[in-house]
Structures are given as C-alpha cells and as structure tokens.
Amino acid sequence: MFHGFCPAESGYWNGQGGRKFYHDGVHWDGFASMERDVRAMVADPRWPLTGAPTRADAIARRALATADGVCWLFGAYARWYRLDPDGQWHLSAPPAGSPIRGNTRPVTVPIPYWVVPTGPDFSVDRGSTQAFVGPDVPAEVTERIRALIIAHRGLRREDFPLTGGPFREVFAAEVASTVAAVWGTVMWCAYAPAFDGNEVILSMFGEFLARPLPGDEFVRWLPPVTLTDLVDLYAERCRSGFPDAGLQLAGLMAQTAHVLRADARFRPRATALIAMIEPLLTQPWLDHTALQSGAVAHSWLLRCPANLAAAALSETSPGDHFRHVFYDLVEALAYTAETGADPRQVAAALLAADVAAVSTDAVTYLYPWMDDGIRQALYAALAEPGHTLRDCWPVDGLLPPALTPPDRSTAAALLGAAYATGLAWCELAGATPPTTGFPVAAAVGQCLVHNRDDLPREPTTTPRKRVTETTSDWLYSS
C-alpha cells in the first residue's frame, strides 16, 4: 500500500494517514509539497507493480483544496489537474501566487482512472518551449544537418521524386525528396517552428525553396509539419515499388533526428521519431500491412513508447495537445506573478487576443478543453471591450510594459509557447494560422529584435562568385 510511502529524509509527518508535506524553510507551499510527495511515490519501484485501485486510492488521498474551495491534483504526465464544479477534471497549470499556494489543505476526492500516473508518463522529457528566435540553433547541430543535405541533395530525382503534398508546395520542382525529408524532420521535431529570419538551419535550404517562407526578415512563422506529411515521403516510395528508397528516406529522417536531439527545443519529438523509425530499419516488413491499408502514420505511432507518447500528442489528440501547450504558456508567464498578476488569467487574456484577431468562432471548439476558471476569463476578455484583461493585449504590435519578459531566455520561451498554442488551437478549431504570426507571438518577438545570437554581416561591395555548395556563403553573394 502506498498510503504512507514517502522518503523519510526530508519534510515532516503531519499525522494524516502517514502523509508527509514539505516546507521551503520560509513559506508553506502546498502545491510544491504535494508534487514532491507524488513524485517520490511514483518513482518507487513498487508503483508499476501495484494494482490500479490501490494506485488510484493513493493519488486520491493527495489532492489539495485552495481557500476558494477548488480541488487540485498532481497526476498523469507529471502535471496538475483542476476539478470543475460539474465534476470534470481538466489539465490545468496551478496557481503561481504565494498566498494561494500557501493557503491549501490536503483532501481526499474521487478521481477518474486517466489522471492516475502509470509510471512511464512521469519520465516524460519536456525539452524547451523556446522558439528559434533569440538563441540560435547550436553550430554543431546546423553543420551536421548541412552535411546531411550535401550528402543527399545530389541523389537522382527519378529515384526520390517529390510527387505531391505540402512539401511539393515548399520546394522547387527539381528538388529531390531527400531534401524534403531533412526539412520535414526539422519542422516536425521543433516544439514551435518560429525561426529567426537569419537562422542558419533555415538558410541552408534557401536554394531549394519554390517561394519565400512566411514571415519577414526577422521571424519566419512556419506552418507545422504533421507526421503523416513526413511518413508519406517514405510510403510513396514503398507503394511505388521502391522499398529500398523508402527505407533510405526513413533512415535519413532518423539520422536527422539524432542530430537534432542535441537541442532541447527538438529533443522530445526527435527522440520519439527515432523510436518510431529505428525498428523499421532492422525489420523492413513492419509496415507491410499498414502500407496496404494506408495507415502508415498510425503504425509508426504504435511504435512510440509510453514515456515518449506526449511528444506525439498533436498527432493523436489535438484537444489534449492544446491543453498541454496552453499549460506551457501559463508556465512561461510565471514571471508575471512577481508583479501580483495571475499567470493563468494573463494566459487566457493573451489567448483571447489571438482568437479575436484570427477567428472568434474558434472559442466553440476551445471551451470544452479548458477548466472553468480559464473558460470564464477567455469569455470575459472576448465579450467585454472594457474588461481589465484586455490590458494584457498587445498595442501597436508591442506587449504592455508590465508583461515584458525580464530576459532573453524567458522571452524566447514565451514566444515558443505562444506560437505553439496558436498553432494548436487553430488545428483544433480548423482555423488558418496567420502567415504574419499571431499578434501575441509577434509582439513577444519584438522583445528579441535586439537580443539575438546572429549578427548581420557588414555590407560589402566586393563582387563574389555564387557558390554551388550548400554553405551559408550563398546568402551573401551577389
């Protein structure tokens, strides 16, 4: 039984069923205390071997109630859940203010099975929510990606044709699908595909593009690539009677993902993609049935381990994916709590600003995936022109001074979370993301204009011969 389990080396016993809660030495924080307790319990080797009812009971005894009567629970995927008045539990980032977090009490509540941690879900790798604006992709990553492009760009287009789909719209007609495989892997693995206009990992694809990328010279707001888009490159070759070429494309995707893992902004999805592809490279018959039925992407997802499933959530449940990236957005706004603001309310206000600019009809699809507090805040910000939450909205393309992130890394994390949230709710509601960026993400981008890694080269009047290799020099030649 896990009712009393908790490491004995820290905290103190409170006499309630043997449970132990924690202090930081100055302030009581019920949320931090309960999270530590649950993490320690789930990390115990006995947890996966314990019966489901016992595990559910152990988690149910570790809920929290805040002073306003709202119940919270730290559960599946190592995240918090909030109980609505109608009895529904919602994935929801917890309050950030010390008074709320300190004024809590442990309670026991009935819970559904799906909020109970299984064990593997607690080892999920969250990576980084930073966009690729401000901090550049490390040079060792970009140079290894460049090497993959150089090694595969010259393969015969007859063997690797780009016959259709979204990649055909991105690349020129003469480009081989090997280049598209590298590009697609980069885009699929990115947490949020918002890139600096001078980002090297984009620039090396410039000579292959059919048209300019969406955005401007500062930020490229790129559309998401789905797993189906990526899988279709492999499946088309297999269905056309060239399985070796299909496997070569799949292997190239895995190689690219291995390189991308060095950057935390790519790592979770890159790791998941590798896990889906590598069994195929040694057992090429794995997708035989799926190729006949057209369910290859589903076949790949079935090979994704439980501890990596969260990285592919956008492919399996757009609604849950929206919940998770909105949770990330609230966490990225944690710095606003220092001024007395509620990051949850601020996140709802910023979501409202984007929805109002793109499609107010989208709220019908979003409300079911929100807890009651966020739902009410979103409604108020959209419906009441004079509501105080609208003070959080960008004005003239800039964030209000009170919401300006304190440093570059915080701004980059907010930009990534805001853009990922925008793409997620558009997918959920069937809306088209704006090519110029969502208002909030674009405003956050302005905080990074003068705080980037890339430094523009000095203008030169010396004529240069255009290079033919895929090096960054071709960008600056005349």
Question: Distance between CA atoms of 300 and 215, rounded to whole angstroms?
Answer: 32
Average pLDDT of the segment spanning 288-313: 94
Lowest mean pLDDT among 12-16, 65-69, 168-172, 174-178: 12-16
What is the model's pLDDT at position 469?
A: 35
* CB-CB contact of 262 with 138 (8 Å): yes
CA-based nearest residue to 277, from 299, 259, 294, 293: 299
Task: Give the bridge partners for 132, in sequence order.
Answer: 195
Give residue limits of the domains in the chain. 12-123, 139-316, 318-446
Query: 286 and 279 in contact (C-beta within 8 Å)?
Result: yes
pLDDT of residue 376: 96
pLDDT value of position 22: 42
Residue 241: what pLDDT? Answer: 95
Across the chain, mean pLDDT equals 88
Q: Which residue has the higher pLDDT, 476 or 436?
A: 436
Q: How many CA atoms lie within 13 A of 221 on its CB side?
A: 22
∠ CA(6), CA(104), CA(387), 5° rounding?
135
Q: What share of the chain is helix, strand, coil (3-state, %, to 5)?
A: 55, 10, 40
Task: Give the integer Cα–Cα distance in Å for 179 and 148.
Answer: 9
Position 193 scores a pLDDT of 97
Please report where in the chains the tokens 């994390």 appear, as a residue.
Answer: 413
The model's pLDDT over 156-215, given as tens digits with 9 standing for 90+, comes to: 888 999 988 899 999 998 999 999 999 999 999 999 999 999 999 999 999 999 999 999
Contact 231, 309 (CB under 8 A): no
pLDDT in tens, 325-360: 999 999 999 999 999 999 999 999 999 999 999 999
User: pLDDT-based confidence at 466, cuts 50/70/90?
Assistant: very low
Residue 145 pLDDT = 97
Contact 162, 177 (CB under 8 A): yes
pLDDT at 455 over 70: no
Residue 163 is predicted with a pLDDT of: 86
Residues contacting residue 147 through CB under 8 Å, at least 6 positions apart: none
> Closest Cα partner for 298 from 224, 225, 227?
227
- pLDDT for res 456: 52
Nearest to 355 by CA among 328, 322, 402, 332: 322
Residue 3 makes CB contacts below 8 A (sequence gap 6+) with: 17, 18, 19, 57, 58, 61
Quick one: average pLDDT of 435-444? 96
Sheet with 63-66, edge to edge strand ranges: 89-91, 79-83, 71-75, 63-66, 104-107
Average pLDDT over every residue of 116-131: 91
DSSP string across 33-93: HHHHHHHHHHHSTTGGGS-HHHHHHHHHTTEEEETTS-EEEEEGGGEEEEE-TTS-EEE-P
